[in-house]
Amino acid sequence: MSNATPTNPSATAASDRPAQRLRWRNARFDRHELAGSLGDLGTFLPLLVGMSATNGLDFAAALFFAGLFNIVTGLSFSIPMAVQPMKAIAAVALTEGLTVPQILAAGATVSLVILLLGLTGLIDWLNRMVPLSVVRGLQLALGITLLSKGMQMVVATDRWLAVDSYITGIVAAVVVLRLFFSRRVPAALVLFAAGLVLTVCVHPEVLRELGISLTLPRWAPPQWSDFVSAFPKAALPQIPLTTLNSVIAVCALSADLFPDRPAQPRRVAVSVGLMNLIACWFGGMPMCHGAGGLAGQYRFGARTNGSILFLGAIKLLLAVVFGASLMKLCQAFPQSLLGVLLAFAGMELAMVFRDQTRRSDAFTMLLTTAACVGLNNIAIGFLLGWSLAWCLKLGLFRVEE
C-alpha cells in the first residue's frame, strides 16, 4: 500500500546530498518555467485578496512570506513544488470573520502538528498506511473542487459583455485549449499578460495608486486566547487537509509527474511545519504545499524549481517595493481569467485517477471522491475511503474484477 516512497529515510537523505547541492544549478528559467509559475495564481490571488479585504490581513507581509517560502521551497526541492494558502483556514476566515491573530494562530497550530509528524517519522508510516486508491480519490475530489471553483469565478461575473464576463472566460478557455499542447506559447503567460492589460485599460487608477516604499513585515504575534479560539474553528478542519493533500497527495503526484525525483513525505512535512511557525509572528498568511498547485504549475509549463525561484523573487520584490498598494491591482484583475486558470489546474489534478484500473480500486477511489465532494469534508471522505480499502484488502468484502 505504499505510495512509491523510499522506506529508508537515512539512506535517502545520504543519497540526496549531492543532488541537493546541485539543485539550484539544474533550475531552468525559460518562458515555460515563467508561464508555469503562474499556474497557481487562480488559488493564491483570490484568497490573499479576500482575507486582506475582509479580515484585515497584512497584504504586504503575506506577499513577502509567500515569496520567501517560494524561494526556500525552490532551494529545497528540484520540482515546481507549489506554495499556496491553507484553504480550510482561508474559507473559515472569510465565512466566519476570523481576526488576523486567529488566522495566524490557526496556521501555526496546523504547522506544529505537521512538523511533529515529519520529525518523528509518523508521516512515513501514515503514507504507507494510506492506499493509493484513497489518495487518487482525494486528488480527484480536489481537482473537481478546483474545477468547480474556477467555473464559479467565471459565472460570478454575472454578465455577458464586459471586460470581466462570461465572454472573457469563454475566450480565455478557448485560448488555453488552443495552446494546451503548445511548447512554444505558454497559455498561462498569455492569459496573465492579457489580464494585466485589461486591468490597466479599464482601471487606470490602479497605476496611480501604486506607491514605491520600503515595506518589511512587522512583529505581530497572536495571543494564547487566539490559539484557543482558532483551534476548533479553523485549525482542526485544516489538519487532515494539510496532512493528506499537502504531504501525502502531493508526494504521490510528484512521483507520477517526476518519477526520477519524487518529493519525500518527511521532507515535505518538515517544510510545511517550519513555514508558519516562522511567519505567524509577523503577519504571514498560513501557507502549505498542495497537489492542486503542483498540478497547475506543471500543466502550464513548469518542470523544474526554476519556476518557484522566479515566482518567489518576484513576490519578494513586489512586497518590499510596492507593499500594500498592490492590493488594488489584484482586486481589479479579471476574475474570469483567474477562474479559467484555476479550472484547468483542477483538470490536471483530477486526471491522475486514470491508473486505477482494478474494479475494487476504482470503487474505493470514487467513494472517497463522492464523500469528499458531496459532504464537503475531506476528513470524512478519507475515513470512508480508507475503511473500505482495508476491508477489501482483508477480504471482508469481495469485488468481482
Residue 83's domain comprises: 20-352
In a domain, 359, yes or no: no
Closest Cα partner for 252 from 291, 195, 300, 304? 291
Give the DSSP letter string of 210-263.
Answer: -----------PPPHHHHHHHIIIIIHHHHHHIIIIIIIIHHHHHHHH-TTSPP
In a domain, 173, yes or no: yes
β-strands 84-85, 287-288 pairing:
antiparallel
Q: What is the pLDDT of residue 72?
A: 92
CA-based radius of gyration for the chain: 20
Q: Name the grid cell of 120.
A: 518523528
In a domain, 11, yes or no: no
Residue pLDDT, tens place only, 249-284: 899 889 989 998 888 889 999 999 998 899 989 989
Q: What is the pLDDT of residue 340?
A: 85
In a domain, 386, yes or no: no
Across 60-153, the runs of DSSP E, i.e. the strands, are: 84-85
In the 3-class helix/strand/coil scheme, how is 262-312 assigned residue by residue?
CCCHHHHHHHHHHHHHHHHHHCCCCEECCHHHHHHHHHCCCCCCHHHHHHH
Q: Which residue has the higher pLDDT, 295 or 180?
A: 295
Q: Name the grid cell of 159.
A: 454578465
pLDDT at residue 9 is higher than 50: no
Q: Name the grid cell of 63.
A: 506577499
Residue indicated by cell numbers 515595506: 215
Residue indicated by cell numbers 499537502: 246
Report, as an integer, the average pLDDT of 226-245: 82
Residue pLDDT, tens place only, 83-119: 988 877 887 787 677 899 999 999 999 999 999 999 9
Q: Which residue has the higher pLDDT, 153 or 282?
A: 282
Query: Is residue 264 within 8 Å of residue 12, measured between CB atoms?
Result: yes
| Number of domains within the chain | 1
Query: Is residue 115 within 8 Å of residue 277, measured between CB atoms?
Result: yes
The pLDDT-based confidence of 3 (bands split at 50, 70, 90) is very low
Q: What is the pLDDT of residue 112?
A: 94
Task: Report how far residue 81's alpha carbon sits from residue 125's, in angstroms, rounded to the nearest whole number.
Answer: 22
Q: What is the pLDDT of residue 2?
A: 40
Q: Name the grid cell of 82.
A: 507549489
Q: What is the pLDDT of residue 372?
A: 86
Task: Report how far residue 30's alpha carbon sits from residue 225's, in angstroms, rounded to the nearest whole number.
Answer: 48
In a domain, 153, yes or no: yes
In a domain, 384, yes or no: no
Please name the amino acid found at residue 101. P
pTM of the model: 0.74
In a domain, 390, yes or no: no
Task: Report how far residue 126's alpha carbon sits from residue 121's, in angstroms, rounded to the nearest whole number.
Answer: 9
Closest Cα partner for 62 from 42, 40, 85, 82? 85
Between helices 41-55 and 59-76, what is the axis angle to 10°? 150
Q: What is the pLDDT of residue 114?
A: 93
Q: Which residues contact 220 (CB under 8 A, 6 or more apart)?
A: 58, 61, 100, 101, 104, 281, 282, 283
Task: Report how far residue 350's alpha carbon sits from residue 144's, in angstroms, rounded to the nearest whole number.
Answer: 6
Lowest mean pLDDT among 152-161, 171-180, 181-190, 340-349: 181-190
- Percent of the chain at pLDDT > 90 equals 18
Q: Name the grid cell of 136.
A: 487518487
Q: Which residue has the higher pLDDT, 318 or 291?
A: 318
pLDDT at residue 192 is higher than 50: yes
In a domain, 81, yes or no: yes
